[in-house]
Structure 1
Amino acid sequence: MDPRMAELLTPYLKFLNGRELAPDDSLRERGLDSMQSINVLFEIEDVFGVSLPDEDITDATFATGATLWTAVQAQLEREGVSS
């Protein structure tokens, strides 16, 4: 997972309790809710310069930092954006 993804997610994870986000940590269990996921999408656009397609905006994509990063990375490749 890109360090920028962990940095982007950390402010939304109220149950992270000051520890570092591991790639396989459950984002829901760490405090990310559906409303915050929308803000995360906006931040992904700002930080990485891509928009996730509707079919990638699922619970499975937002399960962990690693699954979200995988979706972002795939979109970067589709759009030819260098990360």
Structure 2
Amino acid sequence: MDNGFPGLLKPFLKYAGTQPINPEASLNDLGLDSMRAIELLFAIEDTYGVSMPDELLTDATFATAGSLWATIEALRGPR
């Protein structure tokens, strides 16, 4: 994961507290609800310059920090 990605996630995770966010962290368990997920989506699109298609707006994409980061990386393409 990008070093700045956990910092981007934190404001949307009401139960994250000060614990580090690792790739296996369940975003649902950390407090990501549907409203915050929409706000997070906009932040991701703005920060990383990607546009997430509707077919990727699934529970699986937003399941963990790692699954969400993998989706962002796939959308960004090779660097």
Query: Do residues 24 (structure 1) and 24 (structure 2) align?
Result: yes
Provide the residue aligned with 2:47 in structure 1.
47
Counterpart of 1:2 in structure 2 is: 2
Q: Which amino acid aligns with 2:73?
A: Q
Shift of 1:17: 2.2
Find the residue that maps to 1:44 and give its secondary structure.
helix
* Structure 2 unaligned residues grouped into runs of 5+: none
Q: What's the offset of the Cα at 1:58?
A: 0.3
1:53 Cα offset (Å): 1.0
Identity of aligned residues (%): 47
SS of residue paired to 2:4: helix
Instruction: State the shift of 1:15 in Å.
Output: 1.1
AA in 2 matched with 1:18 = T
Structure 1 segments, 4+ long, off by >4 Å, are none
Q: Distance in 2 between matches of 1:55 and 1:4?
A: 25
What secondary structure is seen at the aligned counterpart in 1 of 2:38?
Answer: helix
TM-score normalised according to structure 1 size: 0.88
In structure 1, stretches of 5+ residues that fail to align are none
2:37 equivalent to 1:37: yes
Counterpart Cα distance in 2 of 1:18 and 1:41: 22
Distance (whole Å) between structure 2 residues aligned to residue 60 and residue 51 of structure 1: 17
Could you tell me how far 1:4 is from its partner in structure 2?
2.0
